[in-house]
Amino acid sequence: MAQDVRAVFFDAGYTLLCMEPDQKTNFLQACTDLGIDIDQNRLAGGIARANVLLGPRHPEAAAQRFSIELVDQFWIEYNRVLLSACAVDPADAARAEAVYRRFLERLGWRVYDEVRPLLLALRARGIMLGVISNWTGDLEEVLRSVQLRDAFDFVLDSAHLGFEKPHPQIFHEALRRAGSAAQHALHVGDSPEHDVEGALAAGLRAALLDRDERFADFDRAPRLTNLKQVLALLDSA
C-alpha cells in the first residue's frame, strides 16, 4: 500500500467496538428472563438463518427512509426468524418483540483495546478519520457513550443516509466530507461484502479486518487480524 493515504475510514461494529455482553449471551439471557427455553443444538443454525437478513442490499437498490419504527421492525423480524429456528416451543416465535426489547435493555458496547492508540497515531500523521457503518440511527450516541466520538472528523450512520454499504453512495459521501480523492482513502472493516467490495467498487483502497481468521483465503485486499496492523499497511511500499 502506497504511503499517500490521507483519509482512513472504519466500520463500527466488530471493527471499532463490539457488543457486551456478546450477541449470543445477550440473546440467551433475554430469553431466560422471559421464560423462553432455547434448544442449544439448534442455536447456531438459527443465528445463521437470521443473519441472512443482514446480507448486503443490491447496490442499485433505492434509498430507504430512516425511522425508528423500520429499525424496530427489522430486528423484531430477525428475532422471529431466530426463535422459530431454536425455541423449544415454536409458539415463542410470536414473542420476538419482547426478546428484542429485553436484548436492547441489556446491550452495552466495548471498544477494542488497540483502537484508541491507533486513532491517536493516525491523527498524529495528519490523517482524516471517519466512520462508515450500517447502523440503526444511534451511532453518534453510542460512540459518545464509549468516549470515542471525538476521535473522528465525521460519522456516517447508514440509517440517516438511506444507503447501506456496499452502496457506493455512502462511500462517496465519506470522501466528500473528508475532502479526499478516492485513491487517497482507505476503508477498514470486517465484512468482505459490505466493507471491502463496497469500498473497492467506489474506488477506495480497502483492508479486511479478520480478527477470528475466518477468511484465510481472502485475497481481494490486505487482510488484517488486528487494527494495529493498519500502521504497517500504511507504511508499506
Q: Quote the CA–CA distance of 191 and 210 in Å, as a whole number.
A: 8
CA gap 125, 119 in Å, rounded: 10
177 three-state secondary structure: helix
Question: Residue 200: exposed, middle, or buried by beta-carbon count in 10 A (0-12, 13-18, 19+)?
Answer: middle
State the pairing for strand pair 17-19/109-111.
Answer: antiparallel
Q: Residue 182 corresponds to which amino acid?
A: A
Nearest Cα neighbor of 7 from 136, 89, 126 is 126
Residue 53 C-alpha cell reads as 437478513
pLDDT at 163: 85
Q: Are 119 and 147 in contact (CB under 8 A)?
A: no
Per-10-residue mean pLDDT for the chain, 237 residues long? 85 96 95 98 96 76 69 94 98 98 95 98 97 94 97 94 90 98 98 96 98 94 97 88
pLDDT at 66: 63
Pair 15, 188: CB distance under 8 Å: yes
Cα separation of 110 and 192, whole Å? 23
Residue 198, CA atoms < 13 Å, CB-side half-sphere? 33
| Contact in structure between 182 and 203 (CB atoms under 8 Å) | yes
The set of cell numbers assigned to 122 is 493516525
Q: pTM above the 0.85 mark?
A: yes
- Counting beta carbons within 10 angstroms of the beta carbon of residue 41, is it exposed (0 to 12), middle (13 to 18) or buried (19 or more)? exposed
Give me 160's grid cell.
440517516
Give pLDDT, residue 56: 73
Q: Distance (Å, rounded) from C-alpha 51 to C-alpha 138?
A: 21
